[in-house]
Amino acid sequence: MTTSRVPVVEKIMDANDQVAQQIRQKLDSHGILAINIMASPGAGKTSLILKTITALSSKYKMAVIEGDTAPVTIDADKVLASGVPAVQINTGGECHLDAMMMSRGLEQLPLEQLDIIIVENVGNLICPAAFNLGTHKNVLIASVPEGDDKPYKYPNIYRGVHALIINKTDLLPYITFNIDYFRQGVEMLNPALATFPLSCKTGDGLSEWISWIENQLNTRKAK
């Protein structure tokens, strides 16, 4: 039953990669840096995006694409309230964003005016990893209360990312989380991955993440 799905899924993936390639070309022609944020439900994707907007939106022109599995605009409304354009993509129950959805989202944004687009993927530690959206950087948020064994249990998503955030470090005093064990798991899957322990609640560690984004912008401009 599972195996009967494989050929269809492969075809979808090919089509997805083709659209992702077109998206990348479009982003590059406008000089936009696009970042795809993935995480479990409740790891802090929206919180991180809001903090990033606060830090960078006076210096760069930003927009957000919000992926949701249900037709609720809770996250998109929060972004709009921060003064940054947001497009909501309701996947209609689907468990991830794909490049076609991303492409439709981009059509609703004023690309010629933007420097940074942040994509908030659907909350899911498995499926989003398999769909290239044409973004330049894929970022994973792990969160302290999820536990230190997640790299071992959900390896695929750790393999494909360019940066890792460990959010909710403010909860470390109240939770058993062995950061060495966690980091060993990550190192095995994605050696020397840029990792940012931080707390969106207290702001601790955020500046290193913000510098990383600015470095990505500067590296691209220097090319």
Q: Between 36 and 150, name the residue whose CB sits nearer to its own copies.
A: 150
Laid out side by side, the sheet with 33-39 consists of 86-90, 62-68, 116-120, 33-39, 137-143, 163-167, 194-197
Q: Is 41 in the site for its own copies (CB under 8 A)?
A: yes
Q: Is 72 in the site for its own copies (CB under 8 A)?
A: yes
Q: Is 153 in the site for its own copies (CB under 8 A)?
A: yes
What is the number of alpha carbons within 13 Å of residue 134 lying toward its C-beta?
A: 25
State the minimum distance, in angstroms, from the CB of residue 155 to its own copies.
Answer: 5
Q: Is 146 in the site for its own copies (CB under 8 A)?
A: yes
The residues facing 36 across adjacent strands are 119, 138
How far from the centroid of its chain's Cα atoms is residue 150's Cα? Answer: 17
Q: Between 59 and 104, name the residue whose CB sits nearer to its own copies.
A: 104
Q: Between 33 and 102, name the residue whose CB sits nearer to its own copies.
A: 102
Give me the sign of the Cα torsion angle 24, 160, 108, 56: negative
Q: Give the integer Cα–Cα distance in Å for 215 and 221.
A: 10
**CA-closest candidate to residue 50, choices 26, 9, 80:** 80
List binders of its own copies among 155-184 (CB under 8 A): 155-156, 168, 170-171, 174-175
Of 25-33, 51-59, 72-80, 112-120, the segment contacting its own copies by CB under 8 A is 72-80
Tokens of 44: 């802090």
Q: Is 110 in the site for its own copies (CB under 8 A)?
A: no
Q: Is 74 in the site for its own copies (CB under 8 A)?
A: yes
E strands in the chain = 33-39, 62-68, 86-90, 116-120, 137-143, 163-167, 194-197
Other C-beta atoms lying within 10 Å of the C-beta of residue 20? 21
Q: Is 68 in the site for its own copies (CB under 8 A)?
A: yes
State the minimum distance, in angstroms, from the CB of residue 129 to its own copies.
Answer: 9
Q: Which residues form the interface with its own copies (CB under 8 A)?
A: 1-2, 4-5, 8, 12, 15-16, 40-42, 68-70, 72, 74-75, 92-95, 98, 100-101, 122-127, 143, 145-147, 149-150, 152-156, 168, 170-171, 174-175
